[in-house]
């Protein structure tokens, strides 16, 4: 056969009627634009790559997107697909001719190369921000549009129409080239880079100019966004070096908590204005969230709709492929002998259908992953905004709310660790809520087209059982709400135990209080039993409804329809029923999360007056002492001055500029920015420490001044204690102190107040935990010398009456009122009885001081021996401390996922339930595979022998028995998994509580309270409610994959040849992903713990924070911790999407290979060949289990924390 461009026929070169009348020359003319582009762009690309080391850095300071960026990429992908169709059509048409006609497909091949080059060229021009070079692309699209238009006109003049594939392809190319030409014109119009005197310069995004921003998903090109190609560097580098916070960098500005907080706050303020005129209406937080985050949710919903519509391409292509398998054996001849290919003929080719199905599923998963990413990103933004709003509210809380138990640390921990995450996941599931009706309606329509009226029976089964599923979902929501109430009560009691653990251990009351927690836990488990029951019923319904619908449909079709059940109809219907499982499964999930949202925890308390008839003055620059009996209101007076108590009547003035500071009405912003009072330093009676170093606790955000710092530590007698610490003043101490006595904690808090350069210092009984020597040193050096020399206003609450002689002003209190006020001489004159009482107490305290001095002198002789002994003990303690982990080490433990952790969880549920779960799972899946195999045998028998009614009854009976057994086993497996999970949760919580309570005091001193509470809140919640359903989904998907490989290998053994390279690809993808995922999961967990601890620290130190006016600093710290946690979770989510994109594409390669080998099955095995295609389609559709594998890894990390 001769090789030539126009063929070996002389008539092919005839130009007597004009050059444009010859199709070969018209095709040659279409080569000109492609050759022109390649000739122009290749030198530019090679020169550019040679001068820029062939790699354009993403943080290049000129990088940005040109106008129409996404549209250009979409049109280019569409054009590449059309070029592939043109190549296929040209090759098929050429095969029908006697001689080779290269003009039929050569221009299409060159067009494919030129289009690919155009997008590569555009990307490099875009990253270099040199738009003038785009002029070559503009000329290319103009020339391509003109030549394709000429070709289309000639086809039209020759009498070709839409029934001819070549005419349709050419028409689509004219449209695409025209649109791309319009995009180039728009770039010229906006950027003014040609034909204009003043080109428009555009700066690159601000985030890309910051090298600390490493999350690049919003800034990369469309192809990299769809494939997460930019993540490759991080995933691969994780195999060599662990991923740390420096590697993931900072969040982009638009994703930071402060940005989203401002957006949500503005939306909520608008809602408040709308309902301001309606006293009975409250502003809707839902409308505010929609206004703030509605646009990305709509975008995600659009992606979800496109994915659902593309999902129905699977059943249609399966039906076509199976029909072609039937025709392949000579049942019919569907091809003609025409030299040109019609559109109908092109779509009736099994290889074409396989390619179309492959591309449809690729696009479906791409849109689905895009939907997931947008909703997760939006959920993270919403979570950051809500955390900022919650923290803002905590900073305005009255201390009475916490002290009286109206709001506990456990409730705050629940709100931060669980509720915000639940709301984030509800947002993630929202697009599924309105996508479900579309999926169900489309599925029923396609079923009706396949099976006729019998499909309505299966649809009726789904419709009749859907209300039951919804009823189960509502009961799940009620059970989860009840469980949350008991969980909050359990956390409240646990928090009380942890805060008073030293007293409980002193009196050996641990088991008494543990019993109280266990009683509440039993109530919670009772509610969890209801939750587990309805969860198992939901899982059962999700699995049983498709089986019941298939059974009803096929039995009805067998007896009511006069037609035999064909393989194409049967397996296309099975795939449609498989699609309908997803909306039924997500119905219960969405409803359950919807009712989880709550917004009613914080409120301002009110009650009877604690202080009354208070009329005092505090002189500026002098020492004021507040004295009185225990419980007379001294500390309350300081809190009232600070605005921590609700002002029922009267005002608090701060010199001439003062104004009322009512904590119940002031806004956070006003508290932060108020300048209506002097700056204040405050040391509470109960020491409050940050989870930071000693130095950071003393400086408390103020600039470090070495001279002032040394003076303060000396005044508070802290230097000897600091010298004994492992790392000096750089030793990290927890919120409750690490190996610090009560006096040491108290002195650090006093040193914090002294170090601050404030006008006013309030000290609430700073001597309560100090001995006489330390008290006297602090009074002389710290208060009288350090503070009084600076002429600072000092208010001192004390029981040490011997110091009254140093007071410039005295306030004596009794029963919540001021008894006397004035100087010591004034009180001596006006209230002799009170003065004599004080004098007696002062003499008694002086006698106690003399006794202590005598004891100290007697012990002095043993000082050398004692000192030597202490040095030996210090060496031993240092050795022990070297073996222990400090707070930094605890926060950076690398995540390990040993198999023994999984085994411990499974065995915690009992060996009998574990055996029953494994056995029932294997038996159930075997029955489900048997159902599909029976159907394949049934349809294959009918397609060959046209079996009569007797055999039909046999197959229907066998099919019914298998379906009934499958439904029963679905119920058994769902109940077994949930009950095993419930038993494991009960045992694990019991063991966790006992281990925590029986831990040494050192553990409670070194471990933040928020970290311990997180084990009992978020981690326990995961074990209680998330692991069992995830475990069920994981085992189901694993068994499905194994059965798919076995069935396909049985039907088409040649498939095993392709299995090896694809299996190797799977192995390396999983290998690299596991390492990166482990590091990112660790970062997510370790960055969440400081956030939880910061919330608990803030709640416990509200008075101190507000007194120091450090609300802004603490809120800024919270925003930083939130952003750090969000960037870790965002990278983890992007890594999961990276895995999904690659494993899904590999799965589709599996499927395409299976479809291409489908024609190799023996005659009479069309049903089995269709079964193999169906199994691959089901595996490709299994996106949720793959996501659950990642979720299971996260859950097992929480499980490991609780186990150890």
What is the tens place of the pLDDT at every residue in 208-259? 777 788 888 888 888 888 889 989 989 988 888 888 888 898 899 999 999 9
**Residue 672 domain flag:** no
Q: Average pLDDT for residues 1110-1119, to the nearest whole number?
A: 90
Band of the pLDDT at 882, cuts 50, 70, 90? very low
Q: Average pLDDT for residues 1127-1146, to the nearest whole number?
A: 83
Q: Are 788 and 799 in contact (CB under 8 A)?
A: no
Vertex 364 angle, CA 358 and 366, to 5°: 100
Whole-angstrom distance, CA of residue 468 vs CA of residue 1185: 24
Give residue 1187's pLDDT. 45
Please provide residue 30's backbone torsions phi and psi, each rounded to the nearest 5 degrees: -70, -15
Residues 6+ apart with CB under 8 A from 669: none
Band of the pLDDT at 311, cuts 50, 70, 90? confident
Q: Average pLDDT for residues 660-686, to the nearest whole number?
A: 49
764 forms beta bridges with 797
- Residue of 111, 105, 86 lying closest to 177 (CA atoms): 111
Checking if the pLDDT of 138 tops 70, the result is: yes
Give residue 4's pLDDT. 63
Scan for tokens 């002029």, then name that residue.
135
Checking if the pLDDT of 182 tops 90, the result is: yes
Q: Average pLDDT for residues 829-846, to the nearest whole number?
A: 74
- Residue of 258, 234, 257 lying closest to 247 (CA atoms): 234
Q: Average pLDDT for residues 1087-1102, to the nearest whole number?
A: 84
**Residue 862 domain flag:** no
Please provide residue 164's backbone torsions phi and psi, each rounded to the nearest 5 degrees: -95, 125
Give residue 74's pLDDT. 92
SS3 label, residue 564: coil
**Residue 444 domain flag:** no
Highest mean pLDDT among 513-517, 546-550, 828-832: 513-517
Highest mean pLDDT among 298-302, 429-433, 539-543, 822-826: 298-302
Band of the pLDDT at 615, cuts 50, 70, 90? confident
Torsion of CA 1141, 1146, 1152, 1156, to 10 degrees: 170
Q: Average pLDDT for residues 758-765, to the nearest whole number?
A: 86
Band of the pLDDT at 739, cuts 50, 70, 90? low
Give residue 668's pLDDT. 28
Band of the pLDDT at 144, cuts 50, 70, 90? very high
Highest mean pLDDT among 605-619, 800-814, 1106-1120: 1106-1120
> DSSP assignment of 1149-1173, as one string?
HHHHHHHHTGGGSPTT-HHHHHHHH
pLDDT in tens, 696-709: 889 888 888 888 99
Q: Are 1030 and 980 in contact (CB under 8 A)?
A: no
- What average pLDDT does the structure give for the chain? 75
pLDDT in tens, 952-996: 778 888 888 988 898 899 889 888 888 888 888 888 888 888 888
Q: Average pLDDT for residues 468-492, to the nearest whole number?
A: 81
Checking if the pLDDT of 190 tops 90, the result is: no
Can you say whether the dihedral through the CA atoms of 905, 910, 915, 918 is positive or negative?
A: negative
Give residue 200's pLDDT. 65
Q: Average pLDDT for residues 572-595, to the nearest whole number?
A: 57
Checking if the pLDDT of 602 tops 70, the result is: no
**Residue 1022 domain flag:** no
Q: Average pLDDT for residues 416-435, to the nearest whole number?
A: 75
pLDDT in tens, 984-1034: 888 888 888 888 888 887 777 767 676 777 778 767 877 887 788 778 777
Buried/exposed code over 479-510 (b: 16+ C-beta within 10 A; e: otherwise): bbebbbebbbbbbbbbbbbbbebeebbeeeeb
The domain in which residue 770 lies consists of 623-646+677-807
Burial of 373 (0-12, 13-18, 19+ CB in 10 A): buried
Whole-angstrom distance, CA of residue 1077 vs CA of residue 1189: 11
Q: Average pLDDT for residues 110-119, to the nearest whole number?
A: 92
Q: Average pLDDT for residues 347-360, to the nearest whole number?
A: 79
Buried/exposed code over 230-239 (b: 16+ C-beta within 10 A; e: otherwise): bbeebbeebe
Checking if the pLDDT of 662 tops 80, the result is: no
Q: Are 697 and 689 in contact (CB under 8 A)?
A: yes
Domain's final residue, options 204, 239, 265: 204
Checking if the pLDDT of 888 tops 50, the result is: no
- What would the two tokens of residue 872 be? 């030996």
Q: Are 1100 and 220 in contact (CB under 8 A)?
A: no
Least confident span in 169-183, 508-522, 584-598, 1095-1109: 584-598
Band of the pLDDT at 897, cuts 50, 70, 90? very low
Residues 6+ apart with CB under 8 A from 846: 802
Give residue 671's pLDDT. 26
Overall pTM surpassing 0.85 (yes/no): no
Band of the pLDDT at 142, cuts 50, 70, 90? very high
**Residue 16 domain flag:** yes
Domain's final residue, options 156, 181, 204: 204
Q: Are 1065 and 1092 in contact (CB under 8 A)?
A: no
Domain's final residue, options 785, 807, 829: 807
- What would the two tokens of residue 288 be? 């505010």
Percent of the chain at pLDDT > 70 equals 75
681 forms beta bridges with 761
**Residue 28 domain flag:** yes
Count of domains observed in the chain: 2
Give residue 183's pLDDT. 92
Residues 6+ apart with CB under 8 A from 462: 440, 545, 549, 580, 584
Max Cα-Cα span within the chain: 135
Residues 6+ apart with CB under 8 A from 320: 347, 348, 350, 353, 568
Give residue 686's pLDDT. 83
Q: Average pLDDT for residues 44-62, to the nearest whole number?
A: 54
Band of the pLDDT at 1119, cuts 50, 70, 90? very high
100 forms beta bridges with 3
Give residue 96's pLDDT. 67
**Residue 97 domain flag:** yes
Vertex 605 angle, CA 601 and 607, to 5°: 150
Band of the pLDDT at 329, cuts 50, 70, 90? very low
Give residue 540's pLDDT. 85
Checking if the pLDDT of 1157 tops 60, the result is: no
Give residue 1176's pLDDT. 54
Checking if the pLDDT of 113 tops 90, the result is: yes
> DSSP assignment of 973-1007, as one string?
HHHHHHHHHHHHHHHHHHHHHHHHHTS-HHHHHHS
- What would the two tokens of residue 973 be? 């497996």
Band of the pLDDT at 781, cuts 50, 70, 90? confident
Length of the chain equals 1204
Whole-angstrom distance, CA of residue 811 vs CA of residue 174: 92
- Residue of 498, 636, 673 lying closest to 1096 (CA atoms): 498
Whole-angstrom distance, CA of residue 1040 vs CA of residue 910: 26
Checking if the pLDDT of 593 tops 70, the result is: no
Buried/exposed code over 410-445 (b: 16+ C-beta within 10 A; e: otherwise): bbbbbbbbbbbbbbbbbbbbbbbbebbeebbebbbe
- Decide which of 850 and 731 is more confident: 731
Q: Average pLDDT for residues 63-91, to the nearest whole number?
A: 88
CB atoms within 10 A of CB 1046: 12
Give the CATH number for residue 803.
3.40.50.300
Please provide residue 657's backbone torsions phi and psi, each rounded to the nearest 5 degrees: -85, -5
Whole-angstrom distance, CA of residue 262 vs CA of residue 272: 15
Torsion of CA 727, 728, 731, 734, to 10 degrees: 140
Scan for tokens 């043109």, then name that residue.
86
Least confident span in 306-310, 329-333, 386-390, 516-520: 329-333
Q: Average pLDDT for residues 563-567, to the nearest whole number?
A: 67
**Residue 463 domain flag:** no
Taking the CA of residue 547 as centre, how many other CA atoms within 13 Å lie in the half-sphere pointing to its CB?
A: 26
Give residue 79's pLDDT. 94
- Residue of 781, 783, 754, 778 lying closest to 767 (CA atoms): 778
- Residue of 229, 295, 275, 222 lying closest to 70 (CA atoms): 222
Band of the pLDDT at 889, cuts 50, 70, 90? very low
Whole-angstrom distance, CA of residue 1102 vs CA of residue 397: 8
Percent of the chain at pLDDT > 90 equals 7
- What would the two tokens of residue 525 be? 């488990």
Give residue 571's pLDDT. 67
């Amino acid at each position: 056969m001769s090789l030539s461009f126009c063929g070996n026929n002389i008539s092919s070169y005839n130009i007597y009627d004009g050059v444009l009348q010859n199709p070969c020359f018209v095709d040659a003319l279409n080569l000109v634009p492609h050759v022109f582009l390649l000739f122009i762009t290749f030198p530019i690309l090679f020169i550019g790559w040679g001068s820029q080391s062939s790699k354009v850095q993403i943080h290049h300071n000129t990088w940005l997107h040109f106008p129409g960026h996404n549209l250009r990429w979409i049109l280019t992908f569409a054009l590449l697909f059309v070029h592939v169709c043109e190549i296929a059509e040209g090759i098929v048409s050429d095969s029908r001719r006697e001689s080779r006609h290269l003009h039929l497909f050569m221009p299409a091949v060159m067009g494919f190369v030129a289009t690919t080059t155009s997008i590569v060229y555009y990307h490099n021009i875009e990253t270099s921000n040199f738009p003038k070079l785009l002029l070559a692309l503009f000329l290319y699209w103009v020339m391509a549009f003109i030549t394709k238009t000429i070709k289309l006109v000639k086809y039209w003049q020759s009498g070709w129409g839409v029934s001819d594939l070549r005419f349709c392809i050419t028409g689509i190319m004219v449209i695409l080239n025209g649109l791309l030409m319009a995009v180039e014109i728009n770039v010229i119009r906006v950027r003014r880079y040609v034909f204009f005197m003043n080109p428009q310069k555009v700066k690159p995004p601000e985030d890309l100019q910051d090298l600390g921003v490493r999350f690049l998903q919003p800034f990369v090109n469309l192809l990299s966004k769809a494939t997460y190609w930019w993540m490759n560097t991080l995933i691969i580098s994780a195999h060599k070096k662990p991923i740390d916070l420096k590697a993931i960098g900072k969040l982009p500005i638009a994703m930071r908590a402060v940005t989203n907080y401002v957006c949500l706050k503005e939306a909520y303020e608008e809602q408040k204005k709308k309902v301001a005129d309606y006293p009975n209406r409250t502003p809707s937080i839902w409308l505010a969230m929609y206004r703030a985050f509605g646009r990305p949710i709509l975008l995600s919903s659009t992606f979800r709709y496109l994915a659902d519509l593309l999902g129905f391409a699977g059943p249609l292509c399966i039906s076509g492929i199976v029909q072609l398998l039937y025709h392949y054996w000579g049942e019919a001849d569907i091809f003609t002998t025409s030299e040109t290919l019609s559109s109908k003929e092109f779509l009736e080719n099994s290889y074409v259908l396989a390619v179309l199905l492959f591309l449809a599923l690729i696009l479906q998963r791409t849109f689905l992953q895009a939907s997931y990413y947008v909703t997760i990103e939006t959920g993270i933004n919403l979570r950051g905004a809500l955390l900022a709003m919650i923290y803002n509210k905590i900073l305005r809380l009255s201390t009475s709310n916490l002290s009286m138990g109206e709001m506990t640390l456990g409730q705050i921990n629940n709100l931060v660790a669980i509720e915000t995450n639940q709301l984030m996941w509800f947002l993630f599931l929202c697009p599924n809520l309105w996508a479900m009706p579309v999926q169900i309606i489309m599925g029923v329509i396609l079923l009706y087209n396949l099976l006729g009226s019998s499909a309505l029976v299966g649809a009726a089964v789904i419709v009749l059982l859907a209300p039951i599923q919804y009823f189960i979902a509502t009961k799940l929501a009620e059970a989860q709400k009840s469980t949350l109430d008991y969980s909050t009560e359990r956390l409240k009691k646990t928090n009380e135990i942890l805060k008073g653990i030293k007293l409980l251990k002193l009196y050996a009351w641990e088991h008494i209080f543990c019993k109280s927690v266990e009683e509440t836990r039993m109530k919670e488990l009772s509610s969890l039993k209801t939750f587990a029951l309805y969860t198992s019923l939901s899982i059962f319904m999700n699995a049983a409804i498709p089986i019941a619908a298939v059974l009803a449909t096929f039995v009805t079709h067998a007896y009511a329809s006069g037609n035999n059940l064909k393989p194409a109809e049967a397996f296309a219907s099975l795939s449609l029923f498989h699609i309908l499982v997803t909306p039924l499964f997500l119905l219960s999930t969405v409803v359950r999360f919807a009712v989880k949202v709550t917004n009613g925890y914080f409120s301002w308390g009110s009650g009877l007056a604690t202080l009354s008839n208070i009329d005092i003055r505090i002189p500026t620059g002098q020492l004021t002492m507040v004295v009185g009996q225990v419980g007379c209101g001294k500390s309350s007076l300081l809190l009232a001055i600070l605005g921590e108590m609700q002002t029922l009547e009267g005002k608090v003035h701060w010199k001439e500029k003062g104004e009322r500071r009512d904590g119940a009405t002031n806004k956070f912003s006003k508290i932060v920015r108020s300048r209506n009072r002097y700056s204040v330093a405050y040391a509470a009676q109960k020491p409050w420490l940050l989870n930071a170093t000693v130095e950071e606790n003393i400086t408390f955000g103020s600039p470090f001044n070495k001279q002032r710092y040394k003076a303060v530590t000396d005044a508070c007698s802290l230097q000897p204690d600091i010298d004994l610490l492992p790392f000096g003043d750089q030793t990290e101490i927890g919120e409750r102190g690490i190996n610090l006595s009560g006096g040491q904690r108290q002195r650090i808090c006093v040193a914090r107040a002294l170090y601050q350069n404030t006008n006013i210092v309030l000290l609430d009984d700073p001597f309560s935990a100090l001995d006489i020597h330390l008290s006297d040193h602090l009074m002389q050096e710290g208060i009288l010398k350090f503070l009084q020399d600076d002429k600072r206003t000092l208010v001192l609450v004390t029981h040490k009456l011997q110091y009254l002689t140093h007071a410039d002003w005295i306030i004596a209190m009794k029963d919540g009122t001021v008894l006397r006020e004035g100087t010591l001489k004034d009180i001596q004159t006006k209230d002799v009885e009170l003065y004599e009482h004080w004098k007696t107490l002062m003499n008694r305290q002086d006698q106690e001081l003399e006794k202590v001095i005598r004891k100290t002198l007697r012990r002095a002789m043993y000082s050398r021996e004692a000192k030597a002994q202490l040095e030996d003990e210090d060496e031993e303690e240092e050795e022990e401390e070297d073996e222990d982990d400090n707070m930094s080490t605890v926060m950076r433990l690398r995540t390990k996922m040993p198999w023994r952790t999984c085994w411990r969880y499974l065995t915690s549920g009992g060996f009998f339930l574990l055996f029953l779960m494994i056995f029932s799972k294997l038996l159930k899946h075997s029955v489900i595979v048997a159902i599909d195999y029976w159907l394949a045998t049934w349809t294959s028998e009918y397609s060959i022998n046209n079996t009569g009614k007797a055999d039909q009854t046999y197959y229907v009976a066998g099919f019914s028995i298998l379906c009934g057994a499958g439904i029963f086993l679905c119920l058994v497996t769902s109940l077994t998994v949930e009950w095993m999970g419930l038993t494991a949760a009960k045992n694990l919580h019991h063991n966790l509580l006992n281990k925590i309570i029986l831990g040494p005091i050192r553990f409670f001193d070194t471990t933040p309270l928020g970290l311990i509470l997180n084990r009992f809140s978020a981690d326990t919640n995961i074990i209680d409610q998330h692991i069992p359903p995830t475990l069920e989904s994981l085992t189901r998907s694993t068994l499905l994959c194994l059965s798919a490989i076995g069935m396909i290998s049985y039907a088409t053994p040649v498939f095993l040849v392709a299995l090896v390279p694809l299996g190797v690809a799977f192995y390396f993808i999983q290998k690299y992903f596991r390492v990166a995922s482990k590091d990112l999961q660790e970062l997510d967990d370790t960055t969440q713990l400081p956030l939880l601890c910061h919330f608990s620290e803030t709640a416990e130190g509200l008075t101190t924070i507000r007194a120091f006016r450090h609300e802004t600093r603490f809120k800024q710290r919270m925003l930083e911790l939130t952003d750090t946690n969000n960037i870790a979770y965002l990278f983890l989510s992007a890594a999961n999407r990276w895995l999904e994109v690659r494993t899904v594409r590999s799965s589709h390669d599996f499927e395409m290979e299976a479809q291409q080998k489908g024609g190799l099955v023996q005659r009479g095995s069309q049903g089995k060949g269709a079964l193999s295609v169906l199994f691959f389609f089901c595996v490709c559709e299994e996106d949720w289990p793959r996501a659950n594998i990642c979720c299971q890894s996260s859950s097992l990390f929480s499980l490991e924390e609780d186990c150890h």
